[in-house]
């Protein structure tokens, strides 16, 4: 798609074009731990990337810049597909953009969380089953007084809220460190059901954290600002793929591009993208 012998010159020209928009471009940093970012009129691209990847990242970050011209409040709101594509019917566009960005829809970070949630849920069910062998009336959705009454008479009461706690020793005594992983060692007087109860509460907290993390990631991956930037990046990298899986979005985009709804993007794409996308 891009000739190897002109790759360096193309990157130089791309940077020159972006700088003419009043944006500074840095290619010798780690980009704050990311492959690249755009902020406050500046684009940073990680120095550890390959040349081809640097160009893709530059396209992506330039798309973020263009988006700020379409929606000046995008840095706060993360944008809207309605304003980006000038339509209220964004369901198909969102589906296509998600497919362009994430292919089969399997996002590694979310897949990992999903697997962890499955394991934790199985752990909770197993602990619940063990406790009910002695306490058939036990319900894991609420505090269980017969067990908590025993726990709260000891320092293990802190483990009902925290997985690990360090209690400062008074009058020169050594600190006490308690963990859900060392319950048997620190509280040998507890029956197995009490130990399982503490671990169940810990696993429930972990499951809530995983669910919260998944929710945050889902919101991030579906941000219009990211979907749009990935769409433009993919148009540069693999326009044939975009044509195949995002025909509705591409048609709307090309129409708005011709109307200069996206400032500077028409000139940028005509200069550096494959001609067959116009």
Cβ atoms of 212 and 116 within 8 Å: the answer is no
- Look at residue 258 and tell me if it is in a domain: yes
Query: What whole-number distance in Å separates Cα of residue 253 and Cα of residue 127?
Result: 53
What is this structure's pTM? 0.66
18-73 tens-digit pLDDT: 999 999 999 887 766 578 889 989 999 998 899 999 999 999 999 999 999 999 99
* Token reading at 118: 């499955």
Give yes or no: residues 135 and 204 share one domain: yes
Q: How much is the pLDDT for 236?
A: 95
142-201 tens-digit pLDDT: 999 999 999 999 999 999 999 999 988 777 778 889 999 999 999 999 999 999 999 999
Range 5-30 average pLDDT:
86
- Look at residue 89 and tell me if it is in a domain: no
Q: List, as one string, the DSSP characters of the chain.
A: ---GGGHHHHHHHHHHHHHHTT-EEEEEE-GGGSSEEEETTEEEEETTS-HHHHHHHHHHHHHHHHHHHH-TTHHHH---HHHHHT-S--HHHHHHHHHHHHTTS--HHHHHHHHHHHHHHHHHHHHHHHHHHH-TT--TTS--HHHHHHHTTSGGGGGGT-SEEEEPPSTTPPPEEEEGGGHHHH-TTS-HHHHHHHHHHHHHHHHHHHHHHHHHHHHHHT-HHHHHHHHHHHHHH-HHHHHHH-HHHHHHHHHHHHTT-STTHHHHHHHHS-GGG-
- Residue ending a domain, among 219, 238, 263, is 219
Give yes or no: residues 114 and 213 share one domain: yes
Nearest to 178 by CA among 165, 193, 160, 197: 165
Confidence check: pLDDT of 4 > 60: no
Confidence check: pLDDT of 104 > 70: no
- Look at residue 61 and tell me if it is in a domain: yes
Q: How much is the pLDDT for 110?
A: 86
Task: Name the percent of the chain lying above pLDDT 70.
Answer: 94
Give yes or no: residues 168 and 207 share one domain: yes
Give yes or no: residues 206 and 234 share one domain: no
Give yes or no: residues 30 and 42 share one domain: yes
- Look at residue 44 and tell me if it is in a domain: yes
Range 93-113 average pLDDT:
84
How far apart, in Å, are the Cα atoms of 55 and each of 17, 52, 65, 176?
Answer: 13, 5, 15, 54
Q: How much is the pLDDT for 33?
A: 56
Query: Residue 79 — very low, low, confident or very high, per pLDDT cuts 50/70/90?
Result: very high
Q: How much is the pLDDT for 2?
A: 43
Q: How much is the pLDDT for 276?
A: 52
Cβ atoms of 35 and 48 within 8 Å: the answer is no
Give yes or no: residues 214 and 152 share one domain: yes
**Number of domains into which the chain is organized:** 2
- Look at residue 102 and tell me if it is in a domain: no
Query: Residue 219 — very low, low, confident or very high, per pLDDT cuts 50/70/90?
Result: confident
The partner residues of 42 in beta bridges, in order of sequence, read 24, 39
- Residue ending a domain, among 173, 194, 219, is 219
Q: What is the 3-state secondary structure (H, E, C) of 229-261?
A: HHHHHHHHHCHHHHHHHCHHHHHHHHHHHHCCC
Query: What whole-number distance in Å separates Cα of residue 53 and Cα of residue 51?
Result: 5
Cβ atoms of 25 and 41 within 8 Å: the answer is no
* Token reading at 5: 């012998």
Higher pLDDT, 20 or 276: 20
Domain that holds residue 173: 109-219
Cβ atoms of 58 and 43 within 8 Å: the answer is yes
Average pLDDT, the chain: 91
Confidence check: pLDDT of 14 > 90: yes
Range 211-234 average pLDDT:
91
């Amino acid at each position: 798609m891009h000739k190897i012998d002109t790759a360096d010159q193309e990157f130089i020209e791309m940077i020159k074009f972006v700088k003419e928009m009043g944006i500074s471009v840095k290619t010798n940093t780690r980009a704050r731990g990311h492959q690249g970012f755009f902020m406050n009129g500046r684009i940073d691209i990680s120095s550890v990337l390959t040349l081809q990847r640097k160009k893709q990242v530059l396209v992506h970050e330039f798309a973020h810049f263009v988006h700020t011209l379409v929606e000046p409040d995008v840095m706060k709101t993360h944008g809207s597909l309605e304003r980006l594509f000038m339509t209220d019917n964004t369901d198909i566009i969102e589906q296509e953009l998600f497919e362009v960005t994430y292919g089969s829809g399997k996002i590694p970070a979310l897949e990992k969380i999903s697997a962890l949630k499955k394991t934790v849920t199985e752990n909770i069910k197993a602990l619940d089953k063990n406790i009910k062998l002695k306490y058939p009336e036990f319900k894991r959705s609420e505090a269980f007084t017969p067990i908590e009454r025993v726990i709260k008479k000891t320092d293990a009461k802190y483990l009902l809220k925290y997985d690990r706690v360090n209690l400062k020793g008074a009058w020169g005594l050594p600190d006490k460190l308690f963990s859900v992983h060392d319950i048997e060692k620190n509280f040998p007087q507890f029956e197995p059901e009490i130990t399982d109860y503490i671990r169940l509460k810990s696993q429930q907290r972990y499951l809530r954290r995983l669910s919260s993390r998944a929710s945050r990631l889902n919101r991030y991956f579906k941000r219009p600002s990211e979907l749009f930037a990935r769409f433009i990046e993919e148009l540069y990298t693999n326009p044939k793929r975009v044509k195949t899986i995002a025909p509705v979005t591409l048609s709307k985009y090309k129409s708005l591009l011709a109307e200069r709804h996206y400032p500077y993007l028409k000139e940028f794409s005509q200069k550096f993208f494959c001609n067959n996308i116009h």
